[in-house]
């Protein structure tokens, strides 16, 4: 990364690519062997990107803090796979990229955006309150955007209820630290009449206890990551700006802590949203969709033709696609097909799960238009699709132009052969590319 450029690369460990097998003395089909300047990675089998990431994880586990990618054969995707495997929750830099193919600048931009998102997701919930999340996201966008292109509004606490954003307010009112809605406007034209081309909506639950539907300890231990959607869309917008985004885009972050107190929302409560939809609370741990509903209505008010929301929304998505894929939902099938291709182009595994208009009716309530879930563990069968169906009630035109990402691959509870424990940033590249491509159509 750029902060290492001042160091002489001769002082760094060099890592090169070898196209032959490692000598037998290093083990059967060894990925790594030592060289005169450091190590070489033997990419001779199938799936070179995963093998590269695995080799980088092995080097990171040796305690190496800084290195240089040297020699030939370093494509952008191979370098990025190495970076993803090498970094940890405590180490977001240390890789000097190879510029043989002129791609070091793009890789440094990726690293800057991923580092921001991963640091924020890995931060402690005590350090990252809802307002702090909103403020840090705004500061990051202002730092990368052209001067004068960003304006913002931050609504907090009881002002949310007065403004009609009842979902965020109800979920967050149990905490002494107020909930917040950030509405950031990136407008490079600086003309107020410029149409909003797209809106990005992120779930920003800075800690999720589950509320009165309380999580067990093992389920709550990693809930600092429940604002992963907000971090992901913020980083995606920043990356798109760095890559030349010229259209007006709104960033909408729905931030709250879901805690238990005498002032917390309760099972049986009914929330009436701005669009008139009434929602019975049957599970206070299904809070993400409640805050996103406000964000989606806010996005719809902007008349953006493209709306993308991202959230660590359901455990059901993780059950369906595992921890290596994000789940994609859309009623707009042609848009979904393009989004899947963008994700494939960016080497971010994404899988489309079912969503139809009738999924809106999958959480019935005798007291309101809908419940926020089903009152069974995990929301019952098809829980991720039912959550997406709930969200579809809050977008216009039968979901035309809307994409919902359930970020099943955003966070690893523990390390494995490819990833360190913690945030992955998976989804940032896909959303940035979707944003850039779709706003040019």
Degrees, nearest 5: CA angle 386-388-390 = 70
Q: Quick one: residue 38, left, alpha or beta (phi over 0 = left, psi -120 to 50 = alpha)?
A: left
Residue 215 annotated as catalytic: yes
HEC sequence for 16-85:
EEECCCCCHHHCCCCCEEECCCEEEEECCCCCHHHHHHHHHHHHHHCCCCCEEECCCCCCHHHHHHHHHH
Residue 178: DSSP 8-state: P
Secondary element (H or E) of residue 254 = strand 248-258
Which one is catalytic: 57, 289, 393, 429? 289
Residue in 432, 422, 325 with CA at minimum distance from that of residue 118: 422
- Is residue 250 part of the annotated active site? The answer reads no
Residues present in the chain in total? 441
Burial letters for 392-415: b for 16+ Cβ neighbours within 10 Å, e otherwise? bbbbbeebebbbbbbbbbbbbeee
Element (H, E) at 215: none
For residues 267 and 282, give the distance between their C-alpha atoms in angstroms, rounded to a whole number: 5
Q: How many CB atoms lie within 10 A of CB 216?
A: 8
* Cβ atoms of 336 and 404 closer than 8 Å: no
Element (H, E) at 233: helix 228-242
Catalytic choice (50, 91, 142, 215): 215
First to last CA, the chain: 33
| Alpha-carbon gap, residue 337 to 4, rounded angstroms | 40
Q: Find how far residue 272's CA is from the centre of its chain.
A: 28
Helix axes 428-438, 104-122, angle to 10 degrees: 120
CB atoms within 10 A of CB 11: 9
Which DSSP category does 212 fall into?
T
Residues 74 and 101: beta-carbon distance below 8 Å: yes
Sign of CA dihedral 314, 54, 45, 72: positive
Residues 6 or more apart in contact with residue 107 via CB below 8 angstroms? 76, 79, 80, 83, 97
| Residues involved in catalysis | 215, 289
């Amino acid at each position: 990364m750029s902060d290492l450029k001042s160091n002489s690369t001769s002082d760094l460990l060099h890592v090169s690519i070898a196209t032959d097998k490692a000598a037998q003395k290093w083990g059967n089909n060894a990925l790594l062997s030592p060289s005169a300047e450091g190590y070489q990675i033997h990419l001779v089998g199938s799936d070179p990107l995963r093998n590269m990431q695995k080799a980088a994880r092995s080097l990171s586990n040796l305690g190496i803090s800084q290195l240089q990618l040297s020699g030939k054969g370093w494509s952008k995707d191979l370098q990025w796979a190495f970076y993803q495997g090498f970094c940890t929750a405590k180490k977001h830099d240390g890789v000097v990229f190879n510029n043989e193919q002129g791609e070091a600048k793009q890789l440094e931009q990726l690293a800057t955006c991923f580092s921001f998102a991963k640091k924020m997701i890995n931060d402690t919930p005590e350090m990252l309150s809802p307002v702090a999340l909103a403020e840090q996201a705004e500061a990051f966008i202002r730092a990368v955007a052209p001067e004068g292109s960003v304006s913002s509004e931050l609504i907090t606490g009881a002002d949310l209820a007065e403004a009609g954003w009842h979902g965020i307010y109800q979920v967050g009112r149990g905490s002494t630290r107020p909930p917040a809605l950030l509405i950031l406007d990136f407008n490079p034209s600086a003309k107020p009449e410029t149409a909003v081309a797209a809106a990005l909506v992120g779930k920003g639950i800075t800690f999720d206890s589950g509320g009165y539907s309380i999580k067990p300890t093992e389920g709550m231990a990693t809930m600092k990551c429940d604002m992963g959607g907000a971090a992901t869309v913020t980083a995606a917008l920043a990356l798109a700006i760095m890559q030349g985004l010229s259209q007006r885009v709104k960033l909408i972050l729905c931030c709250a802590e879901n805690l238990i107190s005498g002032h917390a929302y309760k099972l049986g409560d009914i929330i009436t949203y701005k669009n008139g939809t009434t929602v019975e609370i049957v599970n206070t741990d299904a809070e993400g969709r409640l805050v996103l509903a406000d964000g989606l209505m806010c996005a719809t008010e902007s008349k953006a033709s493209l709306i993308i929301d991202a959230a660590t929304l359901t455990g059901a998505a993780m059950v369906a696609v595992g921890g290596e894929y994000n789940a994609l939902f859309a009623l707009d099938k042609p848009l979904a097909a393009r989004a899947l291709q963008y994700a494939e182009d960016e080497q971010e595994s994404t899988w489309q799960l079912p969503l139809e208009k009738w999924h809106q009716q999958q959480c019935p309530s005798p007291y309101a238009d809908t419940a926020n879930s089903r009152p069974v563990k995990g929301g019952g069968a098809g829980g991720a699709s039912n959550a997406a169906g709930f969200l579809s009630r809050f977008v216009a035109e039968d979901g035309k132009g809307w994409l919902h990402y359930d970020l099943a691959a955003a966070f690893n509870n523990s390390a494995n052969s490819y990833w360190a424990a913690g945030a992955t940033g998976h989804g940032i590249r896909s959303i940035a590319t979707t944003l850039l491509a779709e706003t040019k159509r």
